[in-house]
Chains A and B, each alone.
Chain A
Amino acid sequence: MYDFDYHKPSSVADAVKLLSADPDARAISGGQTLLPALKHRLNRPTYLVDLSGIAELKGVKREGDKVTVGALTRHIEVQNSPEVKSAIPALAHMAAVIGDIQVRNRGTIGGSVANNDPAADYPSAVLGLGATVVTDKRRIAADDFFQGMFTTALEPGELLTAIEFPIPEKAGYAKMRNPASRYVMVGVFVAKTKGGVRVVVNGAGPGVFRQTEMEQALSANWSPDAVAGIKQASEGLNSDIHGSAEYRAHLVTVMAKRAVADAG
């Protein structure tokens, strides 16, 4: 780790001020991604802005037909939240299968979504539920937010403050873990929402993406069988020592079936 300075503001306004003052400053939430990167000297921030003292970023609220999750809400809190469990059980279930207990006790939804690791869980739920990403300046539709591997619509210094999830009619999630890292090898999130059926694939490609063929099939017939015959093209999918693009493409169908079954 290189030396850095450390700030712990107690309001979003102060945090944003600090982050915009220096392009090499970095926000830190749970540190479950940033700290390993710092330890490997892959990052050299001038100072860290620790968001953990900002009360307005924490907690889960259910209002009308949506659930709002503050950026600083930890995975364990989403997993155990009565609001999330009753309104969007698939999201609570997803939080419960992120990493291990230590990671869930530290990691936050804001950090995960801002980071947009292709092997992360949350981005598929955010896109799959057609959520809205709220920042200190604006509201960004999930469809516009994720822009490929580790890239999002967030501008430098922009702070993710909350995510608003519309409550779906039903939703489900299934994933195959990477045998080494236990991050997502291939995951599929399915949801029947007001705006239609959404099927989102994570892990398999360089970023989350919607599987439109499966969306159409499920719109016509919401059942695992509806997606069983749909093959994901392997072009553009990840290929590494853990599995070829073809294997990942195959798993998309398998996980889609399981996700639909999970959604009920």
Chain B
Amino acid sequence: MNVVAPFEGIGASVRRKEDLRFLSGRGQYTDDIARPGQAHAYILRSPHAHARILKVDTAAARAMPGVVAVYTGEDTKGLGGIPCGWQLHNKDGSPMAEPRHPVLAEGKARHVGDPVAVVVAETRAQAKDAAEAIEVEYEVLPAVPTLREALAPGAAQLHDAAPGNLCYDWHIGDKAVTDAAFAQAHKVVRFETTNNRLVPNAMEPRAAIGDYDPTTGEHTLWTTSQNPHVIRLLMGAFVLNIPESRLRVVAPDVGGGFGSKIYHYAEEAIVTWAASKLHRPVKWTADRSEAFISDAHGRDHVTTCELALDETGKFLGLRVDTLANMGAYLSTFAPCVPTYLYATLLSGVYAMPTIYAEVKAVFTSTVAVDAYRGAGRPEATYLLERLVDVAAAETGMDRVEIRRRNFIPTDAFPYQTPVALQYDSGDYFSTLDAALETAGWADFEARRAEAAKQGKLRGIGISTYVEACGIAPSAVVGSLGARAGLYEVGTIRVHPTGSVTVLTGAHSHGQGHETTFAQLVADRLGVPLSQVDVVHGDTAKVPFGMGTYGSRSLAVGGSAMVKAMDKVVDKAKKIAAHLLEASVQDIEFERGTFRVAGTDRTKALAEVSLAAYVPHNYPIEELEPGLEETAFYDPKNFTYPGGCHICEVEIERDTGKAQVVNFTAVDDVGRVINPMIVEGQVQGGVAQGIGQALMEEAVYDEAGQLLSGSMMDYSMPRAEDLPMVGVANHVTLCTHNPLGVKGCGEVGAIGSPPAVMNAVVDALREFGVRHVEMPATPAKIWNIINAGAQRMAAE
């Protein structure tokens, strides 16, 4: 009998099914795959940030040992450009500038790392040797690595198709109403900040293998992707002109993505194309240095904003002016990140009567910038939560009180913000109260005094946030410029003896989907977890899918599975009714058992599935054999996780080093399927948020060279830099998806940076500090302490 132990279903912290494979070294990552006869590609990249390519001489390289082929932009110029998946429109209604993004540079290199040529050879070392023999004549042009440099009058132009290096000039909200609100304001608080540029640094660098079967005309691409179907669509339709039926994309085990593996990258097209020309598999694997200059980076905003308040501290309106770095080319989702994933979140958890936001997106001579864990929402949350703290300081209000006073009331949901989104549910007061209680907010001053005795500056910071994930209703995003739908697909295949295979278009690259999704099935169909397998990451196995990003896998992908399970149960009930000689209306289904209501006559799911595949005694006139259903689920709205993060830091006075000593996260991620996995997701997100706040920054010099281009100079948080993160949940259910789930993948990275920075500013209060820019490195904090001390001495 398939009686499920209750601890395997929704709400159980079962161990991750996939970990045995990962922890015993049996994962199959793209680089682990060796195709018979495979050749190796090495990509020669531009050492200059901006240069005209006068000549590429590959003759010597072609003659090197083991070289199979050498290609340059001349060879690939007939291919389509790397497409952008989202089209924004300017204030005047005209479309954004969308210059061609060639697979290999054509005439010009536009960032350090821009692919200029590719060598295919018998071994990777031979390919690398030959690449050194390629002679490229560059005419170096002035670099424009930063937003301000790129927008300066007379700045060097990266693309003819983007005058002034401007991609778009966009806005949202009502300017006139907002201006009027400011005219009425009792107080206006201004604030300017930079959201630091980050390098995603997934543990596994990107890799791709192209293969081609000339007998069938089938192309196969193995790639480190979060969304193989999207890659198939983008690369097949736009770059290589291969029909979906002839293109298989496999994303096997993937070692972390954080957004950076959403996008379609040139290397994927290069290996697929080269394999079809050479009739040999072609493999490319990035090394870490290459990842730094070729993976899309994250964040990189410069913003000024203003908050209007009345005399009681109520918010009257918000004005925001943001410059967002796109890098040298538009990556797949880049244009929507600083607009629809950012400006639409600017109301935060507050009843903000009116908002007007302007965003200019700018091309710079840097690697592309796109979504990175949180994507736009960390930038919005950081801006708002720092601004609210500054407002509290400048109005003399308590930091918690100003938040509470402006929260969206719990009975006001569904709540329409002035910037397009409608929040379905939430309870910001409860997450705040729970976090204040857990963090011991009330007796913080005692801890501050204790730290002072040890010569340390202790501060506490709070952030109350909401984010939008579970993207997204296709019609809505379509009207906003998305060039794809954002539904998800799930198939439930009940096998003859009752075990289940789930096919999902979502992709797991560390999140634990193979467990969480199996729990959904265990819970709904009553099949033991050990008999549920989740298949993902292969376009030849999974019917379709849009992939994993924006914390959508459970909210959208899980909902598709629920829909498919509903279909399975509907059909199975009919079969059970036939077997039990009852009417279908009388059949009840619970945890794996079909029962004639009010009787002890039952059939187990396995008996029903056996009948479905061995239909000897079967309602064959009305029903097809088999028990497998597929559902497409298009969400009705975004989901809106939110919560409260509280951070305590201690700063060493004499070195300026800040250490996070306490961190409390109370999140509302909707219904929790596996609490242990949710806790892990929040902790990982918080680690990245602490990294952004205190350590991480991609720094380019004026020549456009990435100074922080390796782990020697890019500061990643390590275990010793992180506290035990206390994680708790306060659940309000999502009202519009069948599971009531909201998503937990990004909340940690979204809520935490302002909590950390508010704590840093709080710790430095005595030095008259209003704001500290991220990352708050020891040197930066010491400068503040030193300058403050000197100023105080002078006074």
Q: How many residues of A contact B (CB 8 A)?
A: 20
B697 to A, closest residue via Cβ? A241
The answer to whether B779 touches A181 (Cβ under 8 A) is no
The answer to whether B655 touches A180 (Cβ under 8 A) is no
B708 contacts A by Cβ under 8 Å = yes
The CA-CA distance from A183 to B711 in the complex, in Å, is 11
Q: How many residues of B contact A (CB 8 A)?
A: 26
Residues on A with C-beta less than 8 A from B697 are 241
The answer to whether A247 touches B782 (Cβ under 8 A) is yes
Given A176-B655, A180-B712, A251-B655, verify A40-B779 contact (CB < 8 Å). no
Q: Which has the most chain B C-beta neighbours within 10 Å: A1, A182, A241, A254?
A: A241
Residues on B with C-beta less than 8 A from A176 are 655, 657, 778
Binary interface profile of B, 669-702, with partner A (CB < 8 Å = 1, else 0)?
0000000000000000000000000010101000
The answer to whether A181 touches B786 (Cβ under 8 A) is no
B777 contacts A by Cβ under 8 Å = yes
The CA-CA distance from A76 to B15 in the complex, in Å, is 36
B792 contacts A by Cβ under 8 Å = no
Closest beta carbon of chain B to A94's beta carbon, Å: 18
B721 to A, closest residue via Cβ? A179
Q: Which of A1, A240, A242 contacts B125 (CB 8 A)?
A: A1
Closest beta carbon of chain B to A224's beta carbon, Å: 11
B713 contacts A by Cβ under 8 Å = yes
B652 to A, closest residue via Cβ? A254
B363 contacts A by Cβ under 8 Å = no
The CA-CA distance from A155 to B699 in the complex, in Å, is 38
The CA-CA distance from A247 to B125 in the complex, in Å, is 42
- Where chain B touches its partner, the secondary structure class is loop
Given A40-B289, A179-B695, A250-B786, verify A242-B779 contact (CB < 8 Å). yes
A23 contacts B by Cβ under 8 Å = no
Binary interface profile of B, 6-38, with partner A (CB < 8 Å = 1, else 0)?
000000000000000000000000000000000
The answer to whether A181 touches B699 (Cβ under 8 A) is no
The answer to whether A244 touches B713 (Cβ under 8 A) is no
The CA-CA distance from A242 to B711 in the complex, in Å, is 13
The answer to whether A241 touches B699 (Cβ under 8 A) is yes
Residues on A with C-beta less than 8 A from B289 are 40
Closest beta carbon of chain A to B146's beta carbon, Å: 14
B717 to A, closest residue via Cβ? A179
A53 contacts B by Cβ under 8 Å = no
Residues on A with C-beta less than 8 A from B633 are none
Residues on A with C-beta less than 8 A from B715 are 179-180, 242
Closest beta carbon of chain A to B451's beta carbon, Å: 18
The CA-CA distance from A251 to B708 in the complex, in Å, is 22
Q: Which of A180, A183, A247 contacts B783 (CB 8 A)?
A: A247
The answer to whether A241 touches B778 (Cβ under 8 A) is no
B783 to A, closest residue via Cβ? A247
Provide a sorted-by-A list of 18 A–B residue pairs whose CB atoms are within 8 angstroms: A41-B128, A176-B657, A179-B715, A180-B712, A180-B715, A181-B711, A182-B718, A240-B707, A241-B697, A241-B707, A242-B713, A242-B779, A243-B779, A244-B783, A247-B783, A250-B782, A251-B655, A254-B655
Q: What is A's interface to B at a CB cutoff of 8 Å?
A: 1-3, 40-41, 176, 179-183, 240-244, 247, 250-251, 254
Q: Which 10 A-B pairs have the closest CB atoms?
A: A243-B779, A180-B715, A179-B715, A181-B712, A254-B654, A247-B779, A180-B713, A241-B699, A241-B707, A180-B714
10 new A-B pairs (CB below 8 Å) besides A182-B718, A247-B779? Answer: A1-B125, A176-B778, A179-B777, A180-B708, A180-B713, A181-B712, A181-B713, A183-B712, A242-B779, A244-B779
